[in-house]
Structures are given as C-alpha cells and as structure tokens.
C-alpha cells in the first residue's frame, strides 16, 4: 500500500510541476491574465484539488509551492513594472515624434510667412518709390 501511495504522491507532484510550468510559460509570453499567481490557480491548472496539499504527505510539496509562488510573484511584479515602463517610453516617443512633426510644419509656415513678408515689403518699397516719383513729377516748377 505504501508503494501505491508513493506513486499517487509522485503523480500529484508531477501534475503540480506541470501546472507551474504552464504558469511560467504564460508569464514568459506576457499573457498571464492576473497580477498575482495563487496556489489555487496552479492547482486548477494541475487539475489537483485544493485540499490535496492539506494532506500531511504533501507538506513538503506545499512548502515548495509557497516558495515558488513567492519567486514567481516577484518576477511577475518586476515584469509588470517593465511593461509599464515600456508603455510610458512608447507614449513619450510617440508624443516626441508628433511634436517634431508639428515643429517641422511650424518651421515651413514660418519660412513661407517670412518670404511673403519680404515680398510685401518689396512691393511696399516699390509703391513708396513710385509715389515719391509721382509726387516729384507733379510738383515741378516750370
């Protein structure tokens, strides 16, 4: 009977290891749906009942799982911080690119305005010169 129980225990440990591996894969892919990994989630993925780890036979398995959860949740939190940092950087990069495009457009508009102003000043100078000639021609004393 003891050998049979050891086989069942080993099978349960293997199922839990498979559940942990599934969670780790989801975390690596960035697709784990929750912000924390729980013992219940691992056991569901392993298709092992929650009361299984309450059995004294699985005391070391329970302890090992708790240690693993602590490590994985730290990793998940750090990954979340990294993802949020990447999102902020991408947002700032997008805003910077938009601002640069707006600056380029503003520079082009400024150049056009400066050229229009120079042309208007040139026409105004020509008109003033023509007016001055016209005045000097009409007030000639003969």
Indicate the domain borders of the chain.
2-132
pLDDT at 141: 56
Torsion, Cα of 111, 112, 115, 121 (10° steps)? -120
pLDDT digits over 17-33, tens only?
A: 999 999 999 988 888 88
Integer Cα distance of 135 and 129 in angstroms:
10
Choose among 42, 39, 41, 37: nearest CA to 20. Answer: 42
pLDDT digits over 86-106, tens only?
A: 888 889 899 999 999 999 999
Give the rounded percent of residues in the chain with a pLDDT score beyond 90. 56
pLDDT at 82: 72
What angle, rounded to 10 degrees, do the helices at 39-46 and 2-29 form? Answer: 110
For the segment 35-49, the average pLDDT, to the nearest whole number, is 93
Winning range, highest mean pLDDT, from 28-37, 73-82, 118-127: 118-127
């Amino acid at each position: 009977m003891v050998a049979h129980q050891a086989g069942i225990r080993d099978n349960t440990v293997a199922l839990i290891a498979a559940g942990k591996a599934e969670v780790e894969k989801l975390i690596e892919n960035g697709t784990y749906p929750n912000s924390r990994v729980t013992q219940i989630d691992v056991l569901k993925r392993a298709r092992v009942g929650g009361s299984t780890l309450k059995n004294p036979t699985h005391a070391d398995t329970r302890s090992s799982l708790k240690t693993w959860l602590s490590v994985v949740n730290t990793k998940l939190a750090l990954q979340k911080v990294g993802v949020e940092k990447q999102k902020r950087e991408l947002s700032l990069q997008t805003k910077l690119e938009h601002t640069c495009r707006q600056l380029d457009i503003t520079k082009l508009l400024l150049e056009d305005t400066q050229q229009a102003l120079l042309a208007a000043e040139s026409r105004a100078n020509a008109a003033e010169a023509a007016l001055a000639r016209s005045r000097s021609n009409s007030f000639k004393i003969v």
